[in-house]
Amino acid sequence: MTAHPSDAIRAARSLLFVPGDRPDRFAKAVAAGPDLVVIDLEDAVGAADKDAARENARAWLAAGETAVVRINGSRTSWYEADLDMMCEHGTAAMVPKAEDPALLERLARSGISVVPLVETACGVSNARELAMADGVQRLAFGSIDLAAELGVDPTDRQALLVARSALVLASAAARLPGPVDGVTTALTDRRQLVDDVTHARTLGFTAKLCVHPSQVAAVHDATAPSADEVAWAQTILTAADPAGSATTVDGEMVDAPVLSRAQRIIDQTARA
C-alpha cells in the first residue's frame, strides 16, 4: 500500500471496494491484504451520505493512508467536490461509467492517476480511446452495470465475451497491463470466484475487483501462474538460444513471443 499509485495500480491483482460511509471498515479492508483498497463514494453510498463519505476518504488520505477512490460521475452534483478532494491528496481515481477520454485527461492534468471503470455500451465502444488517454493506468470492467444495460445475465460469459475482449485488446494496444475484471457477487462461493477469475485470465485479464475481504486470498491464488505454467516457462527459458534465435523445445517452436510469455509467467510468480 506504500507504492506510488500508478505503480501499485499496474501491478495489482486485487482491488477491494469498501463503502465510503463506513470508515470503520477502512482499516479492516487493508488488513484483508488486497493489493489496493478502493474507497467507494459512488454506488455503495446513498445520496444523503455522499458528503460524509467524501470527508471520510479525505480524513483517511490526510492521515497518510493510501487508496484508490471511486468518485461520483461527472454528471452528478458531487463530482466537483470529489475532484477537489482528489486534487488535494493526489490519489488515484476510479471513474465510473467512463466514456469520454477528455474527462479522463482533465483528471490527469490535475496529477491524478486514472482507472476508468468501463461499464456501459458506449464505454466499451470507446475502450481503445479510453485506454490511450493521458493518465490512464489500467482499465477495469463493470460487468454488472453493463449487463443491466444490455439486458443480459451478468454471469453469462458468452453475452459479455465481446466486451471483455474489447478491454483486453484496448489495454494491449495502449501498452497497459491486463484489465481488471468485474466483481463476483456470490460472496461466499469460493469455487465460483476462482472459476470467474480463471475464465477472465484466459481472456487476458490480470486482476479482479473484490467486494468482500474473504475474496482477496482466493483471487491472489487464482491469478498466480499454475505449477504447470511455471514449469513450462522455466523449461523454455533454460533451453532458449542465448543469441535469441528461434529454436525448438519438446517439439514446440520457441521464438521471441514465446520467450516473452515465459518471462512474463516467471515475473508474475516472483510478485505473487
Asked whether residue 70 falls in the same domain as residue 101, the answer is: yes
CB contact set of 124 (below 8 Å; sequence gap of 6+): 118, 146, 162, 163, 166, 167
Whether residue 96 sits in one domain with residue 199: yes
Residues 146, 235 within the same domain: no
Same domain flag for 116 and 83: yes
Q: Give pLDDT tens digits for 155-188.
A: 999 999 999 999 999 999 999 999 999 999 999 8
Reported as a single tens digit per residue, the pLDDT across 208-244 is 999 999 999 999 999 877 777 767 777 777 777 666 6
- Does residue 241 share a domain with residue 114? no
- Tell me which amino acid residue 206 is: T
- Asked if residues 1 and 29 have their Cβ atoms less than 8 Å apart, the reply is no
Q: Is the pTM of this model over 0.85?
A: yes
Task: Please give the annotated binding residues for substrate, written as ranges.
Answer: 70, 119
Q: Considering 185, 205, 223, which residue would you say is the last residue of a domain?
A: 223
What is the reported pLDDT for 229?
75
Binding residues, as ranges, are: 70, 119, 145
Print the domain residue range for 232: 227-271
pLDDT tens, residue by residue, 23-48: 999 999 999 999 999 999 999 999 99
Instruction: Among 223, 240, 258, identify where a domain stops.
Output: 223
| Whether residue 210 is found in the same domain as residue 233 | no
Query: pLDDT of 71-120, one tens digit each?
Result: 999 999 999 999 999 999 989 999 999 999 999 999 999 999 999 999 99
Tell me, yes or no, whether 90 and 134 share the same domain.
yes
123: alpha, beta or left? (left if phi > 0; alpha if psi -120 to 50): alpha
Q: Binding site for Mg(2+): which residues? A: 119, 145
The count of domains in the chain is 2
